[in-house]
Structure 1
Amino acid sequence: MLQRIQTVYLLIASIISGGLIFIFPIWKLNDGVEVFAISSTLFACLFFGSAIVSLIAIFMFKNRKLQFVLGRLAIILNFILLGFFVYQSLTVSGEAEASEKGIGMFLPIVSIVFLALANKAIKKDEDLVKSVDRLR
Structure 2
Amino acid sequence: MIQRIQTLYLVIVGLVAGILPFLFNLWIDGKGIEFFAQNELWISIAFYVSAVLAVISILMYKNRQNQFVVNRLNMILNLFLLGFFVYRSLSLSGEAMVSEKGIGMLIPVFSIVFLVLANRAIKKDEDLVKSVDRLR
Instruction: Please indicate, yes or no, whether the TM-score normalized by the shorter chain is above 0.5.
Output: yes
1:73-107 Cα distance to aligned partner (Å, 9 max, x none)? 11110000000111111123334777110000000
RMSD: 1.4
Structure 1 partner of 2:37: 37
Q: 1:67 to 1:97 in 2, by over 3 A?
A: farther
Tell me the equivalent position of 1:76: 76
2:122 and 2:13 map into 1 onto residues whose CA distance is 15
Fraction of identical pairs, as percent: 59
- State TM-score, norm by structure 2: 0.94
Are 2:62 and 1:62 equivalent residues in the alignment?
yes
C-alpha spacing 1:132/1:77, structure 2 compared with 1 (3 Å): same
Is the 8 Å Cα contact of residues 53 and 74 (structure 1) preserved in structure 2?
yes
Match of 2:48 in 1: 48
> Letter of the aligned partner of 2:46 in structure 1?
L
User: Which stretch has the larger CA shift, 25-34 or 38-47?
Assistant: 25-34
Matched residue type, 2:52: I
How far apart, in 2, do the equivalents of 1:22 and 1:100 lie? 17
1:37 offset after TM fit, Å? 1.1
Distance 1:50 1:58 in 2: 13
Q: In structure 2, how many angstroms separate the alpha carbons of the residues matched to 1:63 and 1:35? A: 39
Count of residue correspondences: 136
Question: Which position in structure 2 is the counterpart of 1:99?
Answer: 99
Aligned residue in 2 for 1:85: 85
8 Å Cα contact 2:54-2:74 kept in structure 1: yes
Inter-partner Cα distance in structure 2 for 1:97 and 1:73? 38
Distance, in Å, in 2 between the alignment partners of 1:97 and 1:19 is 30
In the alignment, the residues of structure 2 paired with residue 65 and residue 42 of structure 1 have an alpha-carbon distance, to the nearest angstrom, of 29
Structure 1's unaligned 5+ residue stretches are none
Q: CA deviation at 1:133?
A: 0.3
**Cα distance, 1:17 vs. partner?**
0.5
TM-score, with structure 1 as normaliser: 0.94
